[in-house]
Structure 1
């Protein structure tokens, strides 16, 4: 069974199944009398009729009995898997029904999945032989020619009817029911995928899901659908209903299609004719190449088409990629030919070639992509008197002009053993070239120049010229490891940047502000130096230092990151003992008087109660007095210390004693 349009088809099948089946466990299997058609029937007008009904396998029991509306038994017991109906099926369908019956016997009333239900329903409604073998269809003969309905009763395992049944609409057995209408709008279109067939469904009182497609070629009729082609009832008109993927090529063919309704009845055929071309025969050949094989000649080559209906090829030429193209082989070349030589061409000229295929009827296909060939001429001589001038960031090359040269290529290498590297993507028109090397650590370059002909060929290279480059790359600045301002001097520890051998000297810069670059102080340090001492500083001030590296060629680095250092005093003096005076107003306090500290120093006041620890009670101050706001009632001793700008404290003064109050 061939199936297309699964979504629409399944939707239609589900609607039919819902109409035919009664869901839920509280109702009978089938609807009772008074309900409209629940099974399909059609008369042949000769006392015969076909009936089809659908019940999911999980509701099968002991078969079916068919009666007319008077209760006359027309078929006593219809069982799935009957010997005669099964013979009409292929082995695969027989095996499916046998497996279904075996599962029903082994699993009882266990329900099948919805997907299996739909698949089974599609086969019943689209294949009359399958429906008969499944015990869901029958063809009756020799009936009384009158109007009647048919009743399908379900039988239990003992073969007796239960209460469930289906009833058809009345049918006139003396009048043949109309056959299904033929498909509408039948047409054929030739594509590379094959011959595409299009049609649409005509209105029909019975479900139509299946079609039979045939092809007539040279008087022989062949069925292309081994089993019915199943389509949805709303198959889109713009999509092909069937594709003949292997039609006879380069021939006239006729296609025939018939609709098949649920009772297996076929409509009258509709036919359409079409010439079936070999569209692959007109494909442009692949792997087209054009090469200037020798002077004044270009050779075009390609890969032959695989189609046996390709009758030959046309070779075309143009001076421009966009055309116009002239045909070089008006009679074509044979289908076995895969190359063509175009002779007598102008040297240095660019030509574009493309190839078309010729079909069996003399028609030509579309051209493939154009390929280019530049015709060669005689090689041009080598340039002479090449000179080189080295600057800090570029090397300038000059040479003498070469007759018949369209431009020049410049090549460079770093040593005799290394290959030459081309610096010019396209030939340069002038006899001058600047190689912008940028800043470099020095080294040796060799240069040579080649003249390019109008045919795109390079001439012989010039005599090489050697250039020694200057070292113009600055080293990286050193980095600080430690900086100290203790003892009234600045001590710097640093290390040069890697590689250390690039640093020959180190310069130290000093500034008063962090955003200033500063001035060089002292003599340059050796590249092996790692420390610097600056004694020309003032205690209490902050200085900012930077380092600069200098290499052997005199290249200087940029100044490094600044480091700030606060200079302390070499040794702090001992202050004299303070004078302590108690006052009770406006609040209790002790006023301490002392000499003004030296420049750059501040005063710290310490106090001790009893034998306790000495604690800071005031300061640091730069004036001549301080106040203890918490004198207490016990005896208390006071002393002073000087503190420098770096926070270092000097020795303590003698003590002043306050006896309390």
Structure 2
């Protein structure tokens, strides 16, 4: 209660700030209403003292006494209680006393608190002799009130109070409720009521808080003590215990002035008042499997009030989140739930949460477990296809299945080589749970899939209890798309102009089918295929050649898919023989006017290419050729020759062989006439 008095004190001081101190000098506080005026004073009266009140209407008007006898408060304890009426209990609590005698003493001894009580309750002001109600005041007129204090003999004490004002009723605004919140049945209302300056005193000192009775619509007051306005703040709060719960409540806040008059009421504020205190978890829960098989849960129903029902949460793995399995709340008085959505091969874990009307749930309680057996295999997959992707070099698998059974866990894909002497056992392709109907096999080995190899795939479905369906299989031959390596070590050797011997190294490829031999002359741009050879043959003799030509050879390898390798590194050979042509015969040389004329017999040879004429100054000297290139004719004129020169003529074949030089000849001088 001391806290309440401190709040009242702060309110009063804030409202009267700027006026004379309440504790040091008494003041008048006048509240005009519709047809009467409340005139308060704060003068502390001694026992038996009272006051007379006068009013002057208009400027300069004469004062007229309003009371017949001096206004005094209760003079005895027995007079106090009837005057306080139904405020008696509130004042006992306010002053923290228990008897009328104690209240009588403190209201006179604690002057300041008594003055504040006067503004809260007009009954207290009358009891203390501090209030006069002018019921004949001229409204909307400037008046002056004068209070004359008198002693117990009705004689003036010499103390007077004056106040001039226009009698106009003030209309303070209505409060505006901002929010409501509850914790269980304890409700806190917050409303807005703006502060006022001392010169704008609106006389509002407290608030009444109401709830609407749903059946009658009657407003029932909720505060049994004063909810004081604190002029230091724009918002106010009040906490109370609601007599009802789990319903929609309507609240109203009304401002009250110092006369006890209700000024304005707020708009009705609706609030869903739902019980939201923490709920006791369910600890006694059991689960067992029925023959269907389903899981039956039972628990001891909660004895708490204000619960809406229960929710069931389930998980098949304690490391994973629990998921709610109930579509709607189980009734609050029930302790049974049948889970018909379980599948075989799994362990299920359950807990039950208590749910309040606000949707709040209890903490997680005890967990019950049930193991559901699995006796049936999931449906067999069908329509298995396998295709090798030549871009990614992976195998793309797909299949079909019927609607997956509830106990389905995974598809399992197995693979092995089929084109080897001992295929061996299958290897699992997918290491993890596979629920999709397609899969990409990366090969599982560093080398990936071997081109030309055959692989068998099988697929089956498995339940959580590791019961497997029948298998579906397919065999896939990996296409050969990579050409073989080119042969190495190609070597072409001329066999004395009769033939060329050609050989090369083997190509390492399990899919090799043949070698191809290509040849071209040095002056040709493109190779021409000579022949194809089986992979067991890596040697040929090429005899369809002409001496004197340069030939270039290259080899390719081709696999069974028709992929041909690049050309090998080519080898070049000059095809020639080493047998010179026959010596030139019957060489004749004669000096002519234009020079030395030489003639000789034609050399007959298949590989004949031409002649070279040599000259020397002495028969045993060094012979130098006289021309560039080869001569095709059997006649030659040495324009610079003379009778002192010696000559030889040699035949040249296509292999570059020159005939033996034969005997040198010296020109004879012939008469040109």
TM-score range relative to shorter protein: 0.3 to 0.5
TM-score, normalised to structure 1's length? Answer: 0.44
